Structure 1
Amino acid sequence: MPAALVWFRRDLREYDHAALSHALQAHRRVFCCFVFDTTILDALQDRDDRRVSFIHASLAELDAALRARGGGLIVCHGRADEEIPRLADALKVVAVYANHDYEPAAIRRDALVEARLREQGIAWRSFKDQVIFERREILTGSGKPFTVFTPYKRAWLARLGQSRPSPALFAWPVAEFTEHLARPPEGYGLPSLAQIGFTATSLLLEPGMQGGARLLAEFLTRIQHYDQARDFPSIKGVSYLSAHLRCGTVSIRELVRAAVARSSEGAQIWLSELIWREFYQQLLANHLRVVEHAFKPEMDDIRWEQGSAAEAHFQAWCEGRTGYPLVDAAQRQLLQSGYMHNRLRMVSASFLTKDLGIDWRLGEAFFARWLLDFDLAANNGGWQWAASTGCDAQPWFRIFNPVTQSRKFDPQGKFIRRYLPELAALSDRYIHAPWLSASPPTDYPVPSIDHAIARERTLQRFKVSESR
């Protein structure tokens, strides 16, 4: 068969890769490529964006792995909808292979690439890879997408367990066909970060397939405690694999296989978190409007706080200066590392929307800028859950108390002391509410808002919205 081109996107690995496997089995020569898409890069606010550094380092490892098998990675810099058709034509391939991407901008991009390839007489072939079940594979009894997680989870698990072992978890074979990999032409190597207009930044998370493999292996030694440890940010309770899942340096199939192979409560709760990821993915795929609007249309009528006071509150929240230690420590963790513990994402989002009364879309955009593991479906779903505007969301009358959350999930203030050293001298009793101390620190702000008063405002805000 004539040559083919495999376009890597959210799947930066050379094993268990659906598109690569299909291409290698169908063609005698297979080129591999990645595009630093300027449509995406030009929209980034920071030239030292951690995600670009993480992807760049992961690409270097992927290129080395492919070269060890006789191939290599072609890396382009430009608009993907122009670079892929141009490259496909230059390489004289008959087909371009890729894995599905479900975000609205990616869907539009892929449709344009497919149309341009068709004009050139080149086939476009795309496959499911980044989820176990996609789009409309899991439906209600009436044939509609699920909007409540628990029945979705039951249906998901039932679909997975229809046969043992489940075909949905089979790994896509790659290694036995790698003699078909083609070397990149001269001049198509990995550009430096400077060549694409970015600077290197420190990464606290090891990138690439090896980084993902090491994290997974370490996590599996303590997965049995996940259910008990996952809510406490000061201890090593979670897997820290979210950025690797986002970039595809690990395979979702290997993670689900690892979870279902273990009977502990911790493994089952972790599997539920992986299913939550797919719940939000199918929600986005079936309801594209959630990118701009509340999933519940009536919630678009909520009158969020505006004006100079709201702007000042939002800026203080962004910078970790709200006066509520757990919220501020969470924000500083994000700014310093590109990561925020999942429990703290809920606390921080609840504080912004329910205490400060600020539109969830502003918070969502802030997380989108700073999170190393930013994923549109999960970020949107999480924010709408916290703001009570989404499907199966936190009921609007349930409002996190930031001090109660702090005392419950960081009882000794270990996490707070790590990110708020100005509070380190406070006792465990007062570190959650420094303003109650007889001698509160002078270099830490007083609370920007009273939680009890803010709670009443939020209840009224949602009641008015419901009555419209």
Structure 2
Amino acid sequence: MTTLVWFRDDLRLADHPALRAALERDEPVVGVYVLDEESDGVRPLGGAARWWLHHSLASLGERMTDRGSTLVLRRGRAAEVVPRLVAEAGASAVLWSRRYGGPEREIDTAVKSALRDDGVEARSFAGSLLFEPWTIRTGAGRPYGVYTPFWRACLAMPEPRDPLPEPRSLPGPSRRPASDALDDWGLLPAGPDWADGLRETWEPGEPAARRRLQEFLSEDVADYGRARDEPASGVTSALSPRLRWGEVSPFTVWHAAIDSGADVGGFLSEIGWREFAWHTLFHHPDLHTMNLDRRYDAFPWPPLDTDALHAWEGGRTGIPLVDAGMRELWRTGAMHNRVRMVVASFLVKNLLIDWRQGEQWFWDTLVDADAASNPFNWQWVAGSGADAAPYFRVFNPELQAKKFDPHGEYVRRWAPDHADGEGPAPIVDLLSSRRRALDAYDAVRRRG
């Protein structure tokens, strides 16, 4: 008999409770990854995410082979693919890390039910969040809608468990099930290949994730509180795509940060913000399509200005900090968090373009876009989300640049034409567009 470990957003060997439980069964272990773009409600990955997934799967497959087992790749509806693979492999159990999005939970429930009906053990484990969403409740038994009391409640819980060690060897099957070829999935861009900047910026995979964690804690974390809002400083953890793909677990990050002896409260609060996003998604599965605050369903969005949208997407708005951020995003698949807030505010409040347009662009272009944090943060900026920025908060990109990029280093790197005074003219006046946005938000508040 064989035990299958079903990998999803947990592409690692260290601190993997499902993998550890599989090894304790004392039978051959086979990893499986199912590329499911067909099940109802599943959101297809964006281009940058697909690039990362390709390389992370390649790394995981090599590491499993090195340790004696294999990673089987299959494509299709998971509720059909997994039971079929169980039959092919003669598996007695399928183990996996829990997921928290609505469609994903439905898929996992259906798979678990089908397997158990066939007498196959099916178990899920907590591996992706420090605090599972249903375990954190207000005194009235409801989910939290404000971050500070949410994180306070999390910190009052027992300390997150210690991370599990990486297995040195994996018992492989005598006969390995057939696997798709990763290259045949077409996850990498072609015609044209736009990923040069991603290749220059990132190295996906668990080993690189662990190295980056150690580098951050030994070299950068001391300056994190002081410089984290300065986009030119480089003082960020760069862990968000590693956590999104599960190449490193939040338990590993948590304990490594605490053990570093540095002042890591501010950094860990960002891990808490990620937890809050997933807490919110768990209770509101339609987060990327529906306003959390339903009053904003009545927001008077004007007809979509496609020219303005394309100018924003391409970093051609004429606003230096906005254009620098959007060009960094296109080149690297990432953007500094402070600048993300600025460009999002500009789109929603200065251009009066629905936040869902921006969320979809980020979904397509960010290597760290996930189902919780991406829409959660867009709704926060738009004012319609949990613990949202107040409607009257409009990030002025010129003031933000003066405060956080005072010497123009960030703009000079990513938008040198602006630094040379040759950038495009602004497509909108910041003051009058701010007034227009506040009038629209006031109209919603009066109706509510």
TM-score by length of 2: 0.92
Q: Return the alpha-carbon distance in structure 1 between the equivalents of residues 434 and 52 of structure 2.
A: 40
Q: Select which of 173, 177, 183 maps to 1:182.
A: 173
Is residue 2:161 matched to residue 1:169? yes
Q: Return the alpha-carbon distance in structure 2 between the equivalents of residues 152 and 322 of structure 1.
A: 37
Q: Return the alpha-carbon distance in structure 1 between the equivalents of residues 140 and 182 of structure 2.
A: 52
Q: Return the alpha-carbon distance in structure 2 between the equivalents of residues 43 and 144 of structure 1.
A: 28
Offset at 1:175?
2.1
Q: Return the alpha-carbon distance in structure 1 between the equivalents of residues 348 and 50 of structure 2.
A: 30
2:95 — aligned with what? Answer: 97
Offset at 1:22?
1.4
Is residue 2:303 matched to residue 1:311? no
Relative distance call for 1:183 and 1:153 in structure 2 (3 A) is farther
Offset at 1:232?
1.1
Q: What SS does structure 1 have at the residue aligned with 2:74?
A: strand
Q: Select which of 214, 239, 245 maps to 2:243.
A: 245
Q: Return the alpha-carbon distance in structure 2 between the equivalents of residues 38 and 398 of structure 1.
A: 38
Is residue 2:75 matched to residue 1:77? yes
Q: Deviations over 1:363-382 (max 9, x none)?
A: 11110111000111111111
2:402 — aligned with what? Answer: 407
- Is 1:232–1:409's contact at 8 Å kept on the other side of the alignment? yes
Q: Return the alpha-carbon distance in structure 2 between the equivalents of residues 24 and 357 of structure 1.
A: 54
Q: Deviations over 1:76-132 (max 9, x none)?
A: 233322221110111111221111111222122223322332443323211111011
1:291-330 mapped onto 2 (5 Å cutoff): 291-307=288-304, 310-330=305-325
- Is 2:36–2:75's contact at 8 Å kept on the other side of the alignment? yes
User: 1:216 is aligned with what amino acid?
Assistant: L
Q: What SS does structure 1 have at the residue aligned with 2:302?
A: coil
Q: Return the alpha-carbon distance in structure 1 between the equivalents of residues 325 and 58 of structure 2.
A: 32
1:434 — aligned with what? Answer: none
1:422 — aligned with what? Answer: 417
Offset at 1:174?
5.2
Unpaired runs of 5+ residues, structure 1, are: 161-165, 427-440
Relative distance call for 1:183 and 1:279 in structure 2 (3 A) is farther
Offset at 1:68?
2.5
Q: Return the alpha-carbon distance in structure 1 between the equivalents of residues 419 and 261 of structure 2.
A: 40
Q: What SS does structure 2 have at the residue aligned with 1:445?
A: coil
Q: Select which of 215, 235, 238 maps to 2:212.
A: 215
Offset at 1:15?
1.3
CA-based RMSD: 2.0
Q: Return the alpha-carbon distance in structure 2 between the equivalents of residues 36 and 289 of structure 1.
A: 22
Q: What SS does structure 2 have at the residue aligned with 1:4?
A: strand
Relative distance call for 1:466 and 1:142 in structure 2 (3 A) is same
Q: What SS does structure 2 have at the residue aligned with 1:98?
A: strand
Identity of aligned residues (%): 37
Offset at 1:198?
3.8
Q: Return the alpha-carbon distance in structure 2 between the equivalents of residues 247 and 119 of structure 1.
A: 31
Q: Select which of 377, 386, 393 maps to 1:382.
A: 377
1:430 — aligned with what? Answer: none
1:431 — aligned with what? Answer: none
Q: What SS does structure 2 have at the residue aligned with 1:116?
A: helix
Q: What SS does structure 1 have at the residue aligned with 2:379?
A: helix
2:428 — aligned with what? Answer: 449
- Is 1:231–1:343's contact at 8 Å kept on the other side of the alignment? yes
Q: What SS does structure 2 have at the residue aligned with 1:159?
A: coil
- Is 1:31–1:183's contact at 8 Å kept on the other side of the alignment? no
Relative distance call for 1:248 and 1:183 in structure 2 (3 A) is farther
- Is 2:213–2:237's contact at 8 Å kept on the other side of the alignment? yes
Offset at 1:399?
1.1
Is residue 2:132 matched to residue 1:134? yes
User: 1:218 is aligned with what amino acid?
Assistant: E
1:339 — aligned with what? Answer: 334
1:458 — aligned with what? Answer: 437
- Is 1:294–1:384's contact at 8 Å kept on the other side of the alignment? yes
Q: What SS does structure 2 have at the residue aligned with 1:124?
A: strand
Relative distance call for 1:45 and 1:6 in structure 2 (3 A) is closer
Offset at 1:351?
0.5
Q: Deviations over 1:239-258 (max 9, x none)?
A: 11111101111111110112
User: 1:4 is aligned with what amino acid?
Assistant: T
1:151 — aligned with what? Answer: 149
Q: Return the alpha-carbon distance in structure 2 between the equivalents of residues 71 and 332 of structure 1.
A: 42
Q: Return the alpha-carbon distance in structure 1 between the equivalents of residues 128 and 286 of structure 2.
A: 22
Q: Return the alpha-carbon distance in structure 2 between the equivalents of residues 179 and 419 of structure 1.
A: 45
Q: Deviations over 1:211-240 (max 9, x none)?
A: 101111111122011011111111211011
Q: What SS does structure 1 have at the residue aligned with 2:278?
A: helix
Which segment drifts farther, 129-138 or 114-123? 114-123
- Is 2:48–2:364's contact at 8 Å kept on the other side of the alignment? no
Q: Return the alpha-carbon distance in structure 2 between the equivalents of residues 376 and 44 of structure 1.
A: 11
- Is 1:73–1:184's contact at 8 Å kept on the other side of the alignment? no
TM-score by length of 1: 0.88
Offset at 1:169?
2.5
Offset at 1:173?
4.8
Q: What SS does structure 1 have at the residue aligned with 2:247?
A: coil
Offset at 1:55?
1.9
Which segment drifts farther, 23-32 or 11-20? 23-32
1:433 — aligned with what? Answer: none
Is residue 2:282 matched to residue 1:285? yes
User: 2:63 is aligned with what amino acid?
Assistant: A
1:41-60 mapped onto 2 (5 Å cutoff): 49-60=47-58
Unpaired runs of 5+ residues, structure 2, are: 190-194
Q: What SS does structure 2 have at the residue aligned with 1:170?
A: coil
User: 1:261 is aligned with what amino acid?
Assistant: D
